Amino acid sequence: MTDFLIAKWSIWYKSLDVNHDGKISIEDVEESRNKFTDLHKLVGDKCSGVKVDMEKWWNTYIFPEKGAEISEDQFLELLGKQYSDDKEAFVKKMTDCFNSIFDVIDTNKDRSIDLNEFIYAFAAFGHENEGVVKKAFALFKPTEDTVPLRTVVDAWISFVTCEDGSKCDIIKTAFES
């Protein structure tokens, strides 16, 4: 595990701190769920289902135990241990993690993401600078104003698992914009 990878995990941690209070907690879950469903104007069963699925994602992949608050140091330590213990299992878990959350985010199930969906997804996680988000979207080189969801998912998986600093990393570049 390299300092490069740890630095990317730190970026990921900060991206999950939706309310920007320096810790990841149930308040971040609530804010992200509410923003996402409000921005997409989801109602009824669709709204409830997305909220349940988002909470499940947070509890499965982010918190060390259901709803527990986690500091950046704890987050980095947890990821570092998982990575060191079994890199292959870590990559599988991160693959499941990003497949899961992007399946939730893909509310219309068209397996692609357009600029508005991208903006909504980032806004739901507390990143509301549209100019920066639009630049990030452009890094994916959209075709007909959409990007295949698989492309975005694979970029996130690489972001949290790839130690090679010489490889292009769209997500890292996007967060550094």
Say if residues 89 and 128 touch (Cβ distance below 8 Å).
no
Nearest to 172 by CA among 1, 4, 2, 3: 4
d(CA 149, CA 2): 28
String of DSSP letters for 40-68: TT--HHHHHHHHHHHHHHIIIII-SSTT-
Strand partners, 31: none
Sorted by where each starts, the structural domains of the chain and their CATH numbers stand as 3-176 (1.10.238.10)
H helices, E strands: number in the chain: 9, 2
Nearest to 21 by CA among 80, 74, 69: 69
pLDDT digits (tens), the chain, 177 positions: 689 999 999 999 999 998 899 999 999 989 999 999 998 888 899 889 988 998 899 999 999 888 788 999 999 999 999 999 999 999 999 999 999 998 888 888 899 999 998 888 888 888 888 888 898 899 999 998 999 999 999 999 999 999 988 888 899 988 887
Query: How much is the pTM?
Result: 0.90
